[in-house]
Amino acid sequence: MLENPNFVLNAVRRSLTLLVIALGVSSLVSLSISSIAAQSKRFKTVLETLISMLSPVPGISLLPFAVLWFGLGYQPILFVAIVGSLAVFTLPVLNGFNTIPSVLVDVGKNYGLRGWRMVRLIYFPATLPSILTGLRSAWGLSWRSLIAAELVYGAMGREAGIGWLISVNRYNLNPNGMAIGLLSIVVLGLAMEHLIMGSVEKVTVKKWGMKV
Protein backbone atom coordinates (compact mmCIF):
# COMPACT_ATOMS: atom_id res chain seq x y z
CA MET A 1 0.00 0.00 0.00
CA LEU A 2 2.75 2.46 0.97
CA GLU A 3 4.44 1.92 -2.40
CA ASN A 4 1.21 2.34 -4.36
CA PRO A 5 1.73 5.04 -7.04
CA ASN A 6 -1.47 6.86 -6.07
CA PHE A 7 -0.42 6.88 -2.43
CA VAL A 8 2.99 8.31 -3.33
CA LEU A 9 1.49 10.89 -5.69
CA ASN A 10 -0.91 12.06 -2.98
CA ALA A 11 2.01 12.46 -0.57
CA VAL A 12 3.95 14.44 -3.19
CA ARG A 13 0.92 16.63 -3.89
CA ARG A 14 0.46 17.43 -0.21
CA SER A 15 4.11 18.34 0.27
CA LEU A 16 4.18 20.50 -2.87
CA THR A 17 0.99 22.28 -1.82
CA LEU A 18 2.51 23.19 1.54
CA LEU A 19 5.73 24.28 -0.17
CA VAL A 20 3.92 26.61 -2.58
CA ILE A 21 1.90 28.16 0.25
CA ALA A 22 5.01 28.56 2.42
CA LEU A 23 7.00 30.21 -0.36
CA GLY A 24 4.09 32.48 -1.23
CA VAL A 25 3.71 33.69 2.35
CA SER A 26 7.47 33.97 2.84
CA SER A 27 7.87 35.96 -0.39
CA LEU A 28 5.05 38.34 0.46
CA VAL A 29 6.33 38.97 3.98
CA SER A 30 9.98 39.31 2.92
CA LEU A 31 9.29 41.73 0.07
CA SER A 32 6.91 43.78 2.21
CA ILE A 33 9.22 44.23 5.19
CA SER A 34 12.22 44.83 2.91
CA SER A 35 10.25 47.54 1.10
CA ILE A 36 9.45 49.21 4.42
CA ALA A 37 13.11 48.94 5.48
CA ALA A 38 14.18 50.63 2.24
CA GLN A 39 12.13 53.67 3.24
CA SER A 40 12.95 53.72 6.97
CA LYS A 41 16.46 53.51 8.45
CA ARG A 42 15.10 52.79 11.94
CA PHE A 43 13.01 49.86 10.72
CA LYS A 44 15.96 48.66 8.65
CA THR A 45 18.12 48.47 11.79
CA VAL A 46 15.40 46.51 13.62
CA LEU A 47 14.94 44.16 10.66
CA GLU A 48 18.65 43.45 10.33
CA THR A 49 18.78 42.62 14.04
CA LEU A 50 15.83 40.23 13.70
CA ILE A 51 17.43 38.53 10.70
CA SER A 52 20.66 38.06 12.67
CA MET A 53 18.63 36.45 15.45
CA LEU A 54 16.58 34.17 13.18
CA SER A 55 19.31 33.06 10.76
CA PRO A 56 21.04 30.59 13.15
CA VAL A 57 17.73 29.07 14.31
CA PRO A 58 16.72 25.90 12.38
CA GLY A 59 13.06 26.03 11.43
CA ILE A 60 12.53 22.48 12.66
CA SER A 61 13.48 23.56 16.20
CA LEU A 62 10.27 25.59 16.33
CA LEU A 63 8.06 22.59 15.60
CA PRO A 64 7.24 21.85 19.28
CA PHE A 65 6.14 25.46 19.78
CA ALA A 66 4.15 25.38 16.53
CA VAL A 67 2.28 22.30 17.71
CA LEU A 68 1.39 24.07 20.96
CA TRP A 69 0.30 27.22 19.14
CA PHE A 70 -1.61 25.72 16.22
CA GLY A 71 -2.54 22.25 17.44
CA LEU A 72 -2.69 19.15 15.27
CA GLY A 73 -2.99 19.53 11.52
CA TYR A 74 -0.95 20.93 8.66
CA GLN A 75 -0.47 24.37 10.28
CA PRO A 76 2.62 23.48 12.38
CA ILE A 77 4.44 22.08 9.35
CA LEU A 78 3.47 25.10 7.27
CA PHE A 79 4.72 27.42 10.01
CA VAL A 80 8.08 25.64 10.14
CA ALA A 81 8.44 25.84 6.34
CA ILE A 82 7.68 29.58 6.36
CA VAL A 83 10.06 30.41 9.19
CA GLY A 84 12.73 28.21 7.62
CA SER A 85 12.84 30.38 4.51
CA LEU A 86 11.96 33.83 5.84
CA ALA A 87 15.37 35.06 6.98
CA VAL A 88 17.30 33.57 4.06
CA PHE A 89 14.90 35.22 1.60
CA THR A 90 14.83 38.60 3.30
CA LEU A 91 18.60 39.03 3.63
CA PRO A 92 19.54 39.13 -0.10
CA VAL A 93 16.50 41.27 -0.91
CA LEU A 94 17.47 43.75 1.79
CA ASN A 95 21.09 43.76 0.62
CA GLY A 96 19.89 44.33 -2.93
CA PHE A 97 17.85 47.34 -1.83
CA ASN A 98 20.87 48.69 0.05
CA THR A 99 23.16 48.48 -2.99
CA ILE A 100 20.90 50.18 -5.53
CA PRO A 101 22.87 52.97 -7.27
CA SER A 102 21.86 56.33 -5.84
CA VAL A 103 21.47 57.70 -9.36
CA LEU A 104 18.48 55.39 -9.91
CA VAL A 105 16.84 56.59 -6.73
CA ASP A 106 17.49 60.22 -7.70
CA VAL A 107 15.93 59.64 -11.12
CA GLY A 108 12.86 58.19 -9.43
CA LYS A 109 12.59 61.19 -7.13
CA ASN A 110 12.91 63.55 -10.08
CA TYR A 111 9.90 61.81 -11.61
CA GLY A 112 7.96 62.31 -8.39
CA LEU A 113 8.11 58.70 -7.25
CA ARG A 114 7.58 58.15 -3.55
CA GLY A 115 6.73 55.28 -1.23
CA TRP A 116 5.30 52.17 -2.89
CA ARG A 117 5.65 53.59 -6.42
CA MET A 118 9.38 54.10 -5.83
CA VAL A 119 9.71 50.52 -4.58
CA ARG A 120 7.66 49.06 -7.43
CA LEU A 121 9.25 51.00 -10.29
CA ILE A 122 12.84 51.44 -9.07
CA TYR A 123 13.72 49.09 -6.23
CA PHE A 124 12.11 45.87 -7.45
CA PRO A 125 13.46 45.96 -11.05
CA ALA A 126 16.93 46.97 -9.88
CA THR A 127 17.14 44.19 -7.29
CA LEU A 128 15.52 41.41 -9.32
CA PRO A 129 18.74 39.30 -9.39
CA SER A 130 18.91 39.56 -5.58
CA ILE A 131 15.24 38.64 -5.27
CA LEU A 132 15.73 35.55 -7.43
CA THR A 133 18.85 34.64 -5.45
CA GLY A 134 16.82 34.88 -2.26
CA LEU A 135 14.01 32.82 -3.76
CA ARG A 136 16.45 30.14 -4.91
CA SER A 137 17.87 29.84 -1.40
CA ALA A 138 14.49 30.16 0.29
CA TRP A 139 12.78 27.34 -1.57
CA GLY A 140 15.61 24.94 -0.69
CA LEU A 141 15.52 25.74 3.02
CA SER A 142 11.74 25.75 3.06
CA TRP A 143 11.67 22.36 1.33
CA ARG A 144 14.16 20.84 3.75
CA SER A 145 12.36 22.30 6.76
CA LEU A 146 9.04 20.97 5.48
CA ILE A 147 10.34 17.44 4.88
CA ALA A 148 12.08 17.43 8.27
CA ALA A 149 8.89 18.55 10.00
CA GLU A 150 6.93 15.81 8.23
CA LEU A 151 9.50 13.24 9.29
CA VAL A 152 9.26 14.30 12.93
CA TYR A 153 5.58 15.13 13.05
CA GLY A 154 4.03 11.84 11.97
CA ALA A 155 0.84 12.60 13.92
CA MET A 156 -0.66 14.22 10.85
CA GLY A 157 -1.33 10.75 9.47
CA ARG A 158 -2.90 10.74 6.03
CA GLU A 159 -2.74 14.51 5.78
CA ALA A 160 1.08 14.46 5.65
CA GLY A 161 3.38 14.24 2.67
CA ILE A 162 6.69 12.77 1.59
CA GLY A 163 8.39 13.06 4.96
CA TRP A 164 5.58 11.16 6.63
CA LEU A 165 5.73 8.54 3.86
CA ILE A 166 9.42 7.95 4.61
CA SER A 167 8.76 7.85 8.35
CA VAL A 168 5.95 5.30 8.06
CA ASN A 169 8.03 3.07 5.80
CA ARG A 170 10.84 3.25 8.33
CA TYR A 171 8.53 2.04 11.09
CA ASN A 172 7.40 -0.77 8.80
CA LEU A 173 11.02 -1.69 7.96
CA ASN A 174 10.34 -1.10 4.28
CA PRO A 175 13.53 0.18 2.58
CA ASN A 176 11.87 0.25 -0.83
CA GLY A 177 9.24 2.69 0.40
CA MET A 178 11.90 4.87 2.02
CA ALA A 179 13.90 4.85 -1.21
CA ILE A 180 10.83 5.93 -3.19
CA GLY A 181 10.27 8.83 -0.80
CA LEU A 182 13.91 9.90 -1.00
CA LEU A 183 13.90 9.63 -4.79
CA SER A 184 10.77 11.80 -4.89
CA ILE A 185 12.57 14.49 -2.89
CA VAL A 186 15.57 14.41 -5.23
CA VAL A 187 13.49 14.51 -8.43
CA LEU A 188 11.32 17.37 -7.17
CA GLY A 189 14.41 19.28 -6.06
CA LEU A 190 16.04 18.93 -9.49
CA ALA A 191 12.83 19.94 -11.23
CA MET A 192 12.44 23.01 -9.05
CA GLU A 193 16.06 24.07 -9.41
CA HIS A 194 16.62 23.51 -13.12
CA LEU A 195 13.19 23.68 -14.72
CA ILE A 196 11.30 26.26 -12.69
CA MET A 197 14.03 28.50 -11.23
CA GLY A 198 16.17 28.18 -14.35
CA SER A 199 13.26 29.13 -16.60
CA VAL A 200 12.34 32.14 -14.45
CA GLU A 201 15.94 33.32 -14.55
CA LYS A 202 16.15 32.94 -18.34
CA VAL A 203 13.02 35.02 -19.04
CA THR A 204 14.02 37.77 -16.59
CA VAL A 205 17.58 38.65 -15.56
CA LYS A 206 19.35 36.81 -18.41
CA LYS A 207 16.94 38.09 -21.05
CA TRP A 208 17.35 41.66 -19.79
CA GLY A 209 21.16 41.42 -19.76
CA MET A 210 21.42 41.62 -15.96
CA LYS A 211 23.28 38.30 -15.79
CA VAL A 212 25.41 36.40 -18.29
Domain boundaries, the chain: 13-156
CA pair distance 122, 14, nearest whole angstrom: 37
Span 162-177, mean pLDDT? 82
What's the predicted TM-score (pTM) here? 0.81
Query: Is domain 13-156 annotated with CATH 1.10.510.10?
Result: no
How does pLDDT run across 57-84, given as a tens digit for each residue?
Answer: 887 888 888 888 887 778 888 898 898 8
Nearest of 184, 177, 120, 172 to residue 146 by alpha carbon: 184
The packing angle between helices 175-190 and 128-152, to 10°, is 170
How many percent of the chain have pLDDT more than 70? 87
Q: Taking a C-beta distance cutoff of 8 angstroms, is the pair 13, 27 a contact?
A: no
Which stretch of 5-9, 24-28, 183-187 has the lowest confidence by average pLDDT? 5-9
